[in-house]
């Protein structure tokens, strides 16, 4: 399950993707109002995405946030990892955040690890192959 913070990040990035071609910065308040996201929470999210190189900001009159790169280069997986960290359902099957499970003596003998790997792989297939442009598309089932 993804966090509310990650959902808000994806919603904000969807708005910025819609404005990408115009190359005009978008105010935090405009995103907050459009997507019904608490402004203070959104500020922290956008700052985190900026610090991780997904966004850039412009100060002053006409300022706001813009995507730093093409929206086709930003996968949902990238955003989820920035905001939520591991995508895997258990630490022992994580690709980027591997860790031994506290209650597991042996990964080879673990009865649930194989299904957790399948779940991870199915989620990753969708997350890695869905980019910000896909989020803007009206028919998400065509992906």
Locate 49 and state its tokens.
């995405």
Q: pLDDT tens-digit profile of 20-40?
A: 999 899 999 999 999 999 999
Q: Which domains does the chain have, with CATH numbers?
A: 4-67 (1.10.10.10), 71-142 (no CATH)
- Supply the mean pLDDT for the chain: 89
- Residue 138: pLDDT band with limits 50, 70, 90: low
Burial of 98 from C-beta contacts in 10 A (0-12 / 13-18 / 19+): exposed
Q: Where are the strands (E) in the chain, listed by range?
A: 55-58, 64-67
Q: What is the pLDDT, as a whole number, of residue 140?
A: 56
Q: How many residues does the chain have?
A: 143
């Amino acid at each position: 399950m993804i966090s509310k913070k990650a959902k808000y990040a994806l919603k904000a990035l969807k708005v910025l993707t819609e404005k990408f071609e115009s190359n005009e910065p978008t105010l935090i308040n405009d995103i907050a109002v459009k997507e019904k996201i608490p402004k203070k929470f959104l500020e922290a999210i956008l700052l985190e995405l900026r610090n991780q190189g997904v966004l850039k900001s412009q100060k002053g009159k006409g300022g706001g946030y813009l995507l730093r790169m093409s929206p086709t280069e930003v996968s949902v997986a990238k955003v989820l990892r920035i905001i939520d960290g591991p995508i895997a359902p258990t630490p022992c099957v994580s690709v980027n955040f591997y860790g031994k499970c506290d209650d597991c003596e042996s990964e080879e003998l673990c009865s649930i690890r194989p299904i957790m790997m399948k779940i991870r792989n199915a989620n990753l297939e969708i997350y890695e192959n869905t980019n910000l442009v896909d989020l803007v598309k009206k028919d998400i089932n065509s992906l």
